[in-house]
C-alpha cells in the first residue's frame, strides 16, 4: 500500500475509564513503549506519541528512551534504537499534534464500542482515505477500559472495532495487539 496521508499514532492514558467507568489516568507500561514502537516502525508510521498528563510518567518514558537511544541499550540492541527513534511524549493530544507539526490533523479514534453520530470508518474505507488524501491523520488508541465518550465525541471519526471469531464476541485485546492488528489492516500488504 502506498500511503499519501501523513499518519501518526497516539497512545492516550487520559482521559480513560477504569473498570467502574470512572475517569482515570492509567500508568504507562514498558511493554507499550517498546512493542507499539516496533509495530509503528514496521508499518512506516511517522511518529508514535505516548500521551500522559503527569510529568512523572513522561519522565519514565524518557528514561527508557534514553537507555535505548544513547545509553547502554543503544550498544546492546541497535534494532531497538531504530524502533524507538520516532517515539515522543506529550502531556495531551494537542501538544502531540503541535510537536508533529500537524495541528490540523484529523483525529480518528479506536474503540471496542460502537459510537453513534460520528464519521465511522471501516478498515477498508480508512485505508482508501490514507491512500488518496494528503490530509494528516492521528490514529488514537486508549488504555484502561477505553477512552471516555466525551473525548471520543470531539474526534473526527471512529475506526470500526476489531472483531475476532470468538462465539461470545470477546474483544478485550491488549492495546499492543490492537495497534498491531489495526496497522496491519490499514497498511499491510
Q: Are 186 and 130 in contact (CB under 8 A)?
A: yes
Each residue of 176-188: pLDDT tens digit?
A: 999 999 999 999 9
Instruction: State the Cα–Cα distance between residues 170 and 189, nearest whole angstrom.
Output: 27
Over the stretch 22-74, which tens digit does the pLDDT of each residue have?
Answer: 999 999 999 999 999 999 999 999 999 999 999 999 999 999 999 888 878 77
pLDDT tens digits for range 154-178: 999 999 999 889 999 888 889 999 9
Taking the domains of the chain in order of start, what are their residue ranges? 7-187
Query: Minimal CA–CA distance to 67: which of 50, 80, 55?
Result: 80
| Predicted local confidence at residue 68, as pLDDT | 87
Contacts of 119 (CB under 8 A, 6+ apart): 156, 157, 158
| C-alpha grid cell, residue 168 | 461470545
Query: Which CATH number among 3.40.190.10, 3.40.1280.10, 3.90.230.10, 3.40.30.10 corresponds to the domain 7-187?
Result: 3.40.1280.10
Confidence band for 1, pLDDT divided at 50, 70 and 90: low
pLDDT of residue 88: 97
pLDDT of residue 11 exceeding 90: yes
The C-alpha atoms of residue 12 and residue 28 are separated, in whole angstroms, by 9
Taking Cα atoms as reference points, which of 100, 111, 104 lies closest to residue 12?
Answer: 111
Pairing of strands 16-17, 23-24: antiparallel
Amino acid at each position: 500500500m502506498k500511503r499519501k496521508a501523513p499518519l501518526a499514532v497516539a497512545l492516550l492514558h487520559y482521559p480513560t475509564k477504569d473498570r467502574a467507568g470512572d475517569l482515570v489516568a492509567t500508568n504507562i507500561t514498558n511493554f507499550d513503549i517498546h512493542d507499539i514502537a516496533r509495530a509503528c516502525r514496521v508499518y512506516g508510521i511517522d511518529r508514535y506519541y505516548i500521551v500522559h498528563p503527569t510529568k512523572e510518567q513522561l519522565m519514565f518514558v524518557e528514561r527508557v528512551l534514553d537507555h535505548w537511544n544513547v545509553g547502554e541499550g543503544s550498544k546492546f540492541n541497535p534494532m531497538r534504537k531504530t524502533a524507538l527513534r520516532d517515539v515522543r511524549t506529550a502531556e495531551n493530544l494537542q501538544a502531540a499534534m503541535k510537536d508533529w507539526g500537524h495541528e490540523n490533523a484529523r483525529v480518528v479514534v479506536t474503540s471496542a464500542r460502537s459510537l453513534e453520530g460520528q464519521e465511522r470508518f471501516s478498515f477498508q474505507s480508512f485505508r482508501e482515505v490514507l491512500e488518496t488524501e494528503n490530509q494528516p491523520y492521528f490514529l488514537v488508541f486508549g488504555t484502561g477500559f477505553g477512552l471516555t465518550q466525551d473525548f471520543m465525541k470531539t474526534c473526527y471519526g471512529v475506526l470500526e472495532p476489531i472483531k475476532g471469531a470468538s462465539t461470545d464476541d470477546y474483544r478485550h485485546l491488549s492495546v499492543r495487539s490492537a495497534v498491531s492488528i489495526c496497522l496491519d489492516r490499514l497498511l499491510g500488504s
